[in-house]
Amino acid sequence: MEEGIEHRTVSVNGINMHIAEKGQGPLILFIHGFPDLWFSWRHQITALSSSGYRCVAPDLRGFGDTDAPPTPTAYTSLHIVGDLIGLLDAIAPSEDKVFVVGHDWGAIIAWYLSLYRPERVRALINLSAPFTPRNPKRKPLDTLRAVYGADYYICRFQEPGDIESEFDQIGTERVVKEFLTYRNPGPLYLPKGKEFGHPLDAPIVLPSWLSEEECNYYATKYGKTGFTGGLNYYRNLDLNWELTSPWTGAQIKVPVKFIVGDQDLTYNAPGMKDYIHKGGMKRDLPLLEEVVVMQGAAHFLHQERPLDINKHILDFFHKF
């Protein structure tokens, strides 16, 4: 499962960060989301390291074998991007620019990285989470509550300890499997005490692209850390909004390719298809080269369709 992948810990930005890496050549930084780990990128690391790239996939702050600071406000976009800049300075001091691939929260962090430090990004491929421009008139959580209500998963994640105690009752392995196998293109609701809408004794059937062994890896790591580190990213949505007021209306000026599954809840959010396809995204990302909508693919498309995603990454980065 991890053939030839090397693991080490790097001291960055005041924390110890675990990274997985393989290969020689131009560096590709892979940034995972929630509830994920470096392990999310196992198929990409194997394929791209054998195609002449140095693949580096960290566990982000709060995840896996990387430190998880106890303060919830230590998880803003500025902290996370600071970690990644520190990582690049430590492991690739001679590379001015690197390739970046992000998914889910990792894609959001990659947008921020490209916004704050565009001169460090050679080209970017983001999966699943489109860029969303800052609305100076409305805080994100107010918007989400107004559109979706209090049971929407991001709203349920806000109260520290609340959803964690529910996840404890459901069990770590089951929580991981529920997220990884979620295929409903509609919004994810987690009403209190409803356990993802399935009885706790109902078996979860894994798709062909996900094995028990792979689920066990996630469950083992989250069993040690809990989910709080990852949930803290959601708990900083409004603080990120406050801190990024200087970037209101700013464009992201790095070459971008965006890939999303047509079954992904992100793609099916209200207004999102219009934003992506009718000029909004191109306005905010002037160097957007291509949008790929993968038919029949859901949220974890790089694990579900690794061969397709690997080819997209190779074809795009090859231009640079």
Is 308 marked active-site? no
pLDDT given for residue 1 in this prediction: 55
pLDDT given for residue 223 in this prediction: 96
pLDDT given for residue 68 in this prediction: 98
**Which run of H or of E encompasses 163?**
helix 162-170
Q: What is the mean pLDDT of residues 18-43?
A: 97
pLDDT tens digits along 132-162: 999 999 999 999 999 999 999 999 999 999 9
* DSSP conformational letter for 1: -
Buried b (16+ CB within 10 A) or exposed e, 156-174: bbbeeeebeebbeeeebbb
Report the residue count for the chain: 320
Is 234 marked active-site? yes
Cα gap 34→104, rounded to integer Å: 7
pLDDT tens digits along 70-89: 999 999 999 999 999 999 99
pLDDT given for residue 220 in this prediction: 97
HSE of 23, CA atoms in CB hemisphere, 13 A: 22
pLDDT tens digits along 216-255: 999 999 999 999 999 999 999 999 999 999 999 999 999 9
Does the pLDDT of residue 39 top 60, yes or no? yes
Does the pLDDT of residue 16 top 80, yes or no? yes
Q: Which is the catalytic residue, given 36, 65, 67, 104?
A: 104
Does the pLDDT of residue 130 top 70, yes or no? yes
Does the pLDDT of residue 2 top 80, yes or no? no
pLDDT tens digits along 175-218: 999 999 999 998 999 999 888 888 888 899 999 999 999 999 99
pLDDT tens digits along 43-71: 999 999 999 999 999 999 999 999 999 99
Confidence class for position 91, pLDDT limits 50, 70, 90: very high
Confidence class for position 266, pLDDT limits 50, 70, 90: very high
Asked if 155 and 287 touch (Cβ cutoff 8 Å), the reply is: no
Q: Which is the catalytic residue, given 79, 299, 302, 312?
A: 299
Please state the pTM of the whole predicted model: 0.97
pLDDT given for residue 294 in this prediction: 98
Considering the chain, what percentage of its residues have pLDDT values greater than 70?
Answer: 99
Mean residue pLDDT across the chain: 96
| Order of all β-strands in the sheet with 256-261 | 6-12, 15-22, 54-58, 27-31, 98-103, 121-127, 256-261, 288-294
Is 299 marked active-site? yes
Q: Which is the catalytic residue, given 112, 234, 267, 275?
A: 234
Asked if 142 and 152 touch (Cβ cutoff 8 Å), the reply is: no
> Among candidates 154, 155, 153, 205, which has minimal Cα distance to 180?
205
